[in-house]
Every structure is written in C-alpha cells, then in structure tokens.
Structure 1
C-alpha cells in the first residue's frame, strides 16, 4: 500500500502527566481537541500554554494542522 508523503499522520499516543497512562488515539482532522479524559485515572487533560490542543501537548504526533505547517487547529 502506497502512502502520500503530504498526508498527515492521524494516530498519536497520548501520555497522561498525572498517572503516566498511554493511549493511542485517532486525531480529528476538522477540529481541535481541547479536552481529553485520561482512561487511566480520569484526569481531564487540557493543552499546555502555547499549544493549540491536547495532541500538541501530550501526544507523540502533533495535530494534523501543525503537521501541515499551520499555526493552530482550524
């Protein structure tokens, strides 16, 4: 299967800063995700100051708009 070089990666592994739980999630392509409920401890994750979404703060892959070189989620 061939992948396009410009296609964003849509899966990111979020790591909870409170309990260390990790979870692979599929990122939305049409909106920011400002909140995420940790499946390990129930903490509500919010973006760190200066980040546009939880994936940019706690994920292994930044959100699709950041991958495309945009400033923030649309």
Structure 2
C-alpha cells in the first residue's frame, strides 16, 4: 500500500504568528527555522522531530510515511 505524502505545509511562527507556505524537504528534517517576518529562530517543541511537526499544518515526510523521525 502506497502512502501519499503531503509536501506542502504552512508554518506558523510561535513568536509573532506569521504564517508562511513552505515545501518540506523529503530527505531531511528541519531542526531550526527563522521567521522571515520577525527574524526569530526556533526549534521543534520537546518530543517533536522537526519544526514542521511542531509548527506546521502537516507533519514532515518521514513522520507521514513511517511515524518515525529521520536520524539526527
């Protein structure tokens, strides 16, 4: 059974609330992200593997496919 992976996610800055549509990488998790609006840099919440899992509308591709984080 093939699992359809969604690559688009809207990430919301936890500092200022700015939203930005992004295309997630398929081969790596994103552990640090800088808001283009307020320039705040943020990392995943404890227990999440990447910023998309914490602040995005869709989980990262590795989590969508297998429910497991990519290796750090």
Structure 2: gaps (5+ residues)? none
TM-score of the superposed pair, with normalisation by structure 1? 0.87
The CA RMSD measured in Å over matched residues stands at: 1.2
Structure-to-structure mapping, 1:1-74, within 5 angstroms: 6-74=3-71
Aligned residues: 70
Please identify the structure whose Cα radius of gyration is greater.
Answer: 1
**CA drift at 1:51:** 0.3
Q: Deviations over 1:2-50 (max 9, x none)?
A: xxx6221001000001100000001011111101110110000100000
| Runs of 4+ residues over 6 Å off in structure 1 | none
TM-score of the superposed pair, with normalisation by structure 2? 0.90
Structure 1: gaps (5+ residues)? none
